[in-house]
């Protein structure tokens, strides 16, 4: 016997609809065929804050699309957004690393010049 979720009527085991109210007794449950690809959301947020703001924002947008596309059964779109978010986050990290290292080398060089006496020789100090 199948109990109707709507009215509680006990129907025969093989019944498709409730004889009392007409409610469909077989509810289709959508199971995802593939696991959700990684979103790379936290990585995108970290590179946005510490490395490269413009590219990081783009990475966050693509990372946010992964979950919604996967839940919408757009598996290829979710995989594409995941890959784009990963790549942009990686390039943002590399660009940020290069910029930070360049700034550090420049700072050390300038401080070294100022404190090392080279400028005092040039300007007659």
Query: Which stretch of DSSP H or E encloses residue 99?
Result: helix 75-116
Containing structural domain, residue 40: 33-122
Domain count, the chain: 2
- Residues 25 and 76 both lie in one domain: no
> For 80, phi and psi rounded to 5 degrees?
-65, -45
Average pLDDT value for the chain: 85
Q: Are residues 53 and 114 in the same domain?
A: yes
| Percent of the residues in the chain that have a pLDDT greater than 90, as a whole number | 51
pLDDT in tens, 30-59: 555 789 999 999 999 999 999 889 999 999
Mark whether 55 and 102 lie in a shared domain. yes
Whether the pTM exceeds 0.75: the reply is no
Q: Which of 61, 47, 40, 35 is nearest to 95 (CA)?
A: 47
pLDDT at 76 (0 to 100): 94
pLDDT of amino acid 16: 79
Residues 61 and 87 in one domain: yes
What confidence score (pLDDT) does residue 56 get? 93
Q: Is the pLDDT at 122 greater than 70, yes or no? A: no
Do 118 and 90 lie in a common domain? yes
Are 72 and 83 found together in one domain? yes
Q: Please indicate, yes or no, whether residues 50 and 95 belong to a single structural domain of this protein.
A: yes
Asked if 55 and 111 sit in the same domain, the reply is: yes
């Amino acid at each position: 016997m199948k109990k109707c979720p709507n009215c509680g009527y006990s129907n025969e085991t093989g019944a498709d609809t409730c004889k009392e109210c007409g409610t469909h007794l077989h509810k289709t449950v959508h199971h995802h065929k593939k696991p959700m690809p990684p979103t790379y959301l936290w990585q995108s947020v970290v590179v946005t804050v510490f490395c490269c703001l413009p590219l990081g924002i783009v990475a966050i947008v693509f990372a946010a699309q992964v979950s919604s596309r996967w839940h919408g059964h757009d598996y290829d779109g979710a995989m594409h957004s995941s890959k784009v978010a990963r790549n942009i986050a990686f390039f943002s990290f590399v660009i940020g690393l290069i910029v930070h290292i360049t700034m550090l080398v420049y700072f050390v060089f300038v401080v070294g010049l100022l404190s090392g006496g080279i400028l005092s020789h040039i300007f007659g100090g």
